[in-house]
């Protein structure tokens, strides 16, 4: 019985083996080999791929200092970062691997998305592409690269790893939420996936919580950035560069000249008070935000006084450019000029030349926080003030008589019948009646953003 069962099993095995179809190989064809296991991406490979394009961005404007991170997105030297990293000024210093520190011009701002583009001189920069081959997913590993706390840790990039925790839309901007650590200085740096693809621009964190950090979703801005880049490269888009220089180094009627360095005051000097107003000319040898003030020497007893009502210019300045404003009559004839926030050398001149008091209509274009030349307004007459700005937001204006007595000072936030907000390029009209004595008057822009030009016109309203 056992023998017969064994014979049956052998016969069945023979039948099945003979029925199997042997593999066929076409002449000249090599049999297919099983696919090799795919290579697993590594964190170190991803970092190595992107790191050459990551740069340290430093913005110094007088007493205002900020630093962050950027990512080179075009070999011509275009760098993408956050606008809040470089929100003041026209330039920033960029530290690139193998190229040292270079001065980059800010060529594009998008305040609503908190984006800015810088342009470094020359070309041949290592650029990273924006976007990924696969859509980011929840739980996916991500890596943040940046320069947090560079003043302490030095100019070497820091790496933090985490996962995608959520996708958020806040104030119309799409974000990737991650627990990859971000700290001051990380802003503007890339958030990359394990394949070394830039999927986000690190922007901000919730300070009240740990591990809740946000990067702008690159896919949501990629098309916009590509369009902007093409316009920049074609020359069809550009930010206003520093305004054309209006002033010149004075050569005539100079009654005082002084060369200083850093935050300092000039020696006392005498001037004929009856010849007011005088022209104050300022030439910085640094990029930054400077405050220039003038006062009677007898009243300069503390730095606090310098920040009072006697400052004459407060705006971003660029090395080598020349700026001018006006000093009006003071009770004494011994004066002092001071500069606050300077990070380099500077020269000031006081020019005693006739400054005509304008009749109306009067129009003047200024830069930053400066005084206009004087003009006449008559008591009980009605006037129209028109001002146009290069920014959206608030403006603070003070009215003064030329004997340095304040007539009235208004902040748009509290002046009910004054336009509470301004919009770039849109003229704003304000109708008022002049209730003061007929006298020479001037306007002082008490507050304006660091990068700002404005035009003010005064005209009498016909009745």
- Residue ending a domain, choose from 351, 376, 395: 351
CA 187 to CA 176: how far, in whole Å? 14
Domain interval for residue 181: 141-234
- Same domain for 269 and 300, yes or no, is yes
Mean pLDDT: which of 96-100, 345-349, 431-435 is highest? 345-349
Domain C-terminal end among 351, 380, 415? 351
CATH number at residue 161: 2.40.10.10
Q: Are residues 99 and 63 in the same domain?
A: yes
| pLDDT score of 193 | 95
Q: Is residue 407 part of a domain?
A: yes
Name the nearest CA neighbour of 199 among 125, 126, 145: 145
pLDDT at 59: 85
Note the pLDDT tens digit of each residue in 42-65. Answer: 889 999 999 999 999 998 765 567
Tokens encoding 45:
């490979």
Examine the domain organization and report whether 342 and 384 are in the same domain. no
Residue 188: its pLDDT value, please? 95
Give me the mean pLDDT over the 170-190 stretch: 92
Q: Residue 293: inside a domain, yes or no?
A: yes
Query: Tell me, what CATH number does 380's domain have?
Result: 2.60.120.380
Give me the number of domains the chain comprises: 4
Final residue before a domain boundary, out of 86, 119, 152? 119
Residue 136, domain member (yes or no): no
Whether 371 and 451 map to the same domain: the answer is yes
* One domain, residues 318 and 270: yes
* Domain co-membership, 147 together with 228: yes
Residue 333 forms part of a structural domain: yes
| Same domain? 326 vs 368 | no
Statement to judge: residues 295 and 269 lie in one domain: yes
Residue 132 CB coordination number (10 Å): 19
Residue 345 shares a structural domain with residue 366: no
In a domain, 131, yes or no: no
Show the tokens assigned to 271.
């001037």
> Residue 44 domain-assigned?
no
User: Which CATH number goes with the domain that contains 297?
Assistant: 2.60.120.1110
Question: Of all residues in the chain, what percent carry a pLDDT higher than 90?
Answer: 32
347 with 377, same domain: the answer is no
| pLDDT level of residue 218 (50, 70, 90 thresholds) | very high
Q: How confident is the model at residue 139 (pLDDT cuts 50, 70, 90)?
A: very high
Residues 347 and 375 in one domain: no
Question: Is 229 in the same domain as 277?
Answer: no
Residue 243 lies in a domain: no
Q: Average pLDDT, stretch 250-257?
A: 88
pLDDT given for residue 403 in this prediction: 60
Whole-model pTM: value is 0.58
Q: Partners of 376 in the beta sheet?
A: 440
Would you say residue 395 lies in a domain? Answer: yes
């Amino acid at each position: 019985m056992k023998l017969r069962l064994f014979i049956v099993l052998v016969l069945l095995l023979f039948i099945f083996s003979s029925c199997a179809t042997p593999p066929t190989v076409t002449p000249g064809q090599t049999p297919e080999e099983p696919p090799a296991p795919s290579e697993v991406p590594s964190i170190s490979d991803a970092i190595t791929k992107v790191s050459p394009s990551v740069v340290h961005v430093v913005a110094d404007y007088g007493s205002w200092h900020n630093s962050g991170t950027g990512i080179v997105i075009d070999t011509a030297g275009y760098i993408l970062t956050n606008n809040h990293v470089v929100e003041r000024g026209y330039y920033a210093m960029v530290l690139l691997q193998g190229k040292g520190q270079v001065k980059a011009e800010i060529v594009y701002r998008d305040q609503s998305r908190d984006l800015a583009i810088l342009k470094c001189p020359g070309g041949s920069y290592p650029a990273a592409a924006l976007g990924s081959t696969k859509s980011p997913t929840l739980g996916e590993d991500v890596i943040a690269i940046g320069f947090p706390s560079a003043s302490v840790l030095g100019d070497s990039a820091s790496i933090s790893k985490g996962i995608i925790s959520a996708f958020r839309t806040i104030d119309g901007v799409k974000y990737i939420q991650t627990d990859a650590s971000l700290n001051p200085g990380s802003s503007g740096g890339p958030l990359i996936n394990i394949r070394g693809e830039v999927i986000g621009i690190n922007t901000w964190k919730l300070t009240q919580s740990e591990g809740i950090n946000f990067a702008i979703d690159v896919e949501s801005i990629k098309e916009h950035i590509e369009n902007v880049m093409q316009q920049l490269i074609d020359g069809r888009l550009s930010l206003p560069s520093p305004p054309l220089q209006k002033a010149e180094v004075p050569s005539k009627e100079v009654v005082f000249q002084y060369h200083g360095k850093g935050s300092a005051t000039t020696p006392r000097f005498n001037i004929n008070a009856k010849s007011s107003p005088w022209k104050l000319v300022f030439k910085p040898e640094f990029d930054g935000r400077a405050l220039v003030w003038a006062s009677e020497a007898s009243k300069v007893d503390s730095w606090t006084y310098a920040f009072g009502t006697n400052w004459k210019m407060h705006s971003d300045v660029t090395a080598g450019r020349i700026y001018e404003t006006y000093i009006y009559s003071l009770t004494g004839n011994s004066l002092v000029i001071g500069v606050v926030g300077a990070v380099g050398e500077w020269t000031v001149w006081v020019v005693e030349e006739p400054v005509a008091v304008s009749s109306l209509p009067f129009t003047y274009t200024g830069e930053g926080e400066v005084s206009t030349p004087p003009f006449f307004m008559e008591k009980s007459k009605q006037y129209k003030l028109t001002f146009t700005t290069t920014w959206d937001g608030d403006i603070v204006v003070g009215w003064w008589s030329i004997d340095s007595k304040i007539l009235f000072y208004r902040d748009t936030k509290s002046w009910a019948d004054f336009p509470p907000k301004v919009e770039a390029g849109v003229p704003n009209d304000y109708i008022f009646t002049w209730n003061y004595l007929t006298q020479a008057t001037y306007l002082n822009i008490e507050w304006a953003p660091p990068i700002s030009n404005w035009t003010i016109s005064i005209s009498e309203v016909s009745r």
